[in-house]
């Protein structure tokens, strides 16, 4: 039987994201919502700033009174407003974040003022326009404004925005349950004694997902036995099952038959990607399943391009795919073949340099790499100084 053509990477990513199951929402306090994604829009419950505030330490004056002098009639500090009104020729001592007193419209910074008892003199250029050094009520946002659409990431900045908007709790997706299984009779637990190859894919993938709102269900290292794999895949309770190894065409590559025996429907297998060609993806009931190749660098690249975006999409992210940027090549690159190539490279002095050997088993070059150079299928040879797409990884 002729092998089916390899799926282009963007088509594979689109099909993969479409496999994301819907998971329930939950309401959590803002303080517990870091890294989650909004399931409902968040709306400002207050206006910020709630009043016109001084942006500087100085004196609240009427712009029309410049160049002074003024009589200082009181003080306004943050949280302790001045109760009166500023009449012509009057000023109020004011501090950053304090409410502007009624009648005043401008702040004279104290570096440009001279105090002589209760009398204030201009001692510099002074404010050049009305409302200088004043933050108008609502400068940041108004009550009723949207502070985040459905799917927005609760980044540190957005959490601070929501807190300032008077939002105390948010509707987010519950944590995504990600089951991780390594397969291979040659594998041993990392750090354990004995012959065998230390298993490295689970902890690598776990670390790649660490900043997402997930819970890991660790299925451990599974042997190359169809019955054991089938039972493990049939029993798993998760939103996303990720396996590594056994994805290719060898006699011991049992992941696909085991997934199918466990009731999974495979949507695609084998993509036009180097490294990572034998990746497969599908669904088993409400659980998305992704079978990654066992080679550690192949697992890293497919983890970056597929698993992490899928976990983020299940968590509610609108736009989860990694973003490439442009960089200048430090050396020439040969023409590419039929698969999109992700080349381990280092950024030095504003240029990128590819590692000489790109074997997909080599973790030392992956750990040294700060980026992957992306080479499109059939890209022509590139010269030093040409621009190339990269994905930053460290």
Ligand X SMILES: Nc1nc2c(c(=O)[nH]1)N[C@H]1C(S)=C(S)[C@@H](COP(=O)(O)OP(=O)(O)OC[C@H]3O[C@@H](n4cnc5c(N)ncnc54)[C@H](O)[C@@H]3O)O[C@H]1N2
Out of 31, 78, 163, 197, the residue judged to bind ligand X by CB under 6 A = 197
Out of ligand X, ligand MOO, none, what residue 248 binds, judged by CB under 5 to 8 A for its kind, is: ligand X
Cα–Cα distance measured from residue 194 to residue 198, given in angstroms and rounded to the nearest whole number: 10
- Shortest distance (Å) from residue 11 CB to ligand MOO: 17
**What minimum distance in Å lies between the beta carbon of 192 and ligand MOO?**
26
Reduce the DSSP state of residue 337 to 3 states and report it.
coil
Look at residue 182 and give the partner it binds from ligand X, ligand MOO, none, a contact being a CB closer than 5 to 8 Å depending on partner kind.
ligand X
Q: Between 167 and 186, how does the x/- string for binding to ligand X read (CB under 6 A)?
A: ---------------x-x-x
CB of 270 to ligand MOO, least distance (A): 9
Distances (CA, A) of 171 to 77, 157, 343, 364: 37, 18, 40, 42
Collapsing DSSP to helix, strand or coil, 139 comes out as: coil
Q: Select the binding partner of residue 246 from ligand X, ligand MOO, none (C-beta < 5 to 8 A, by kind).
A: ligand X
Phi, psi for residue 375 in degrees, rounded to 5: -115, 120
- Give the span between the Cα atoms of 232 and 217, in whole angstroms: 12
**Nearest-angstrom CA–CA distance, 88 and 81:** 20
Minimum distance from CB of 298 to ligand MOO (Å)? 3
Build a one-symbol-per-residue string for 261-290: x at contacts with ligand X by CB under 6 A, - elsewhere. --------------x-xx------------
**In the complex, minimum distance from the CB of residue 303 to ligand MOO, in angstroms, rounded to a whole number:** 12
Q: Near ligand X by CB under 6 A, which window of 44-52, 104-112, 195-203, 344-352?
A: 195-203
Q: How many Å apart are CA 12 and CA 316, to the nearest integer?
A: 19
Choose among 4, 20, 3: nearest CA to 307.
Answer: 20
**Exactly one of 43, 96, 164, 248 binds ligand X (CB under 6 A); which one?**
248
Residues in 343-372 that interact with ligand X by CB under 6 A: 360-361
Q: Which does 244 bind (CB under 5 to 8 A by kind): ligand MOO, ligand X, none?
A: ligand X
Q: What residues contact residue 368 under an 8 Å CB cut-off, 6+ apart?
A: 344, 346, 355
Size of the site for ligand X (CB under 6 A): 25
Residue closest to ligand X, measured at CB: 294
> Left if phi > 0, otherwise alpha if psi is -120 to 50, otherwise beta: which for 244?
beta
| 3-class DSSP state of 44 | coil
323: which DSSP letter? P
Strands 325-329 and 387-392, by their bridges, are antiparallel
CA-to-CA dists, residue 330 to 345, 355, 362, angstroms: 10, 11, 22
256 scored as a contact of ligand X (CB under 6 A)? no
Binding site for ligand MOO (CB under 6 A): 274-277, 293, 295, 298, 360
- Please tell me whether residue 320 binds ligand X under the rule CB under 6 A: no
Smallest gap from residue 306 Cβ to ligand X (A): 14
312 binds, among ligand MOO, ligand X, none (CB under 5 to 8 A by kind): none
From the list 199, 212, 222, 314, which residue makes contact with ligand X (rule: CB under 6 A)? 199
CB-based contact 178:209 (threshold 8 Å): yes
Rounded to whole angstroms, the Cα distance separating 244 from 275 reads 14
Binding site for ligand X (CB under 6 A): 182, 184, 186-187, 197, 199-201, 244-249, 253, 275, 277-278, 293-296, 298, 360-361
């Amino acid at each position: 039987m002729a092998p089916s053509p390899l799926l282009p990477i963007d088509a594979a990513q689109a099909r993969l994201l479409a496999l994301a199951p819907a998971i329930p929402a939950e309401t959590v306090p803002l303080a517990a919502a870091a890294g989650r994604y909004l399931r409902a829009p968040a709306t400002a419950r207050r206006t910020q700033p709630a009043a016109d505030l001084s942006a500087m330490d100085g004196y609240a004056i009427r712009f029309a009174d410049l160049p002074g002098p003024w009589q200082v009639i009181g003080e306004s500090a943050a949280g302790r407003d001045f109760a009166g009104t500023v009449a012509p020729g009057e000023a109020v001592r004011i501090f950053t974040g304090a409410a502007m007193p009624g009648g005043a419209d401008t702040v004279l910074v104290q570096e440009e003022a001279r105090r002589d008892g209760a009398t204030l003199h201009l001692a510099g250029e002074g404010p050049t326009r009305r409302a200088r050094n004043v933050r108008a009520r609502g400068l940041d946002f108004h009550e009723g404004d949207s502070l985040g659409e459905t799917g927005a990431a609760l980044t540190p900045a957005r959490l601070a925005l929501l807190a300032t908007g008077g939002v105390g709790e948010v509707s987010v997706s519950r944590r995504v349950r990600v089951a991780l299984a390594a397969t291979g009779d040659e594998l041993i637990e990392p750090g354990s004694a004995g012959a065998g190859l230390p298993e490295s894919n689970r902890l690598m993938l776990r670390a790649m997902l660490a900043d997402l709102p997930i819970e890991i269900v660790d299925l451990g290292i599974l042997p190359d036995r169809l019955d054991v794999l089938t039972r493990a895949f049939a029993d798993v309770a998760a939103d996303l099952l990720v396996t590594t190894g056994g994805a290719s065409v060898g006699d011991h590559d049992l992941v696909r038959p085991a997934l199918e025996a466990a009731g999974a429907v495979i949507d695609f297998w084998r993509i036009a990607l180097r490294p990572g060609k034998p990746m497969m993806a599908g669904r088993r009931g409400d659980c998305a399943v992704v079978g990654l190749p066992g080679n550690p660098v192949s697992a890293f690249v497919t983890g970056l391009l597929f698993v992490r975006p899928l976990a983020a999409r299940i968590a509610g992210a609108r736009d989860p795919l990694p973003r490439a940027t442009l960089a200048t090549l430090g050396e020439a690159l040969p023409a590419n073949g039929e698969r999109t190539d992700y080349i381990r490279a280092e950024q030095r002095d504003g240029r990128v340099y590819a590692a000489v050997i790109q074997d997909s088993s080599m973790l030392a070059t992956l750990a040294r790499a700060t980026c992957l150079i992306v080479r499109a299928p059939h890209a022509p040879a590139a010269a030093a100084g040409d621009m190339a797409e990269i994905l930053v990884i460290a």
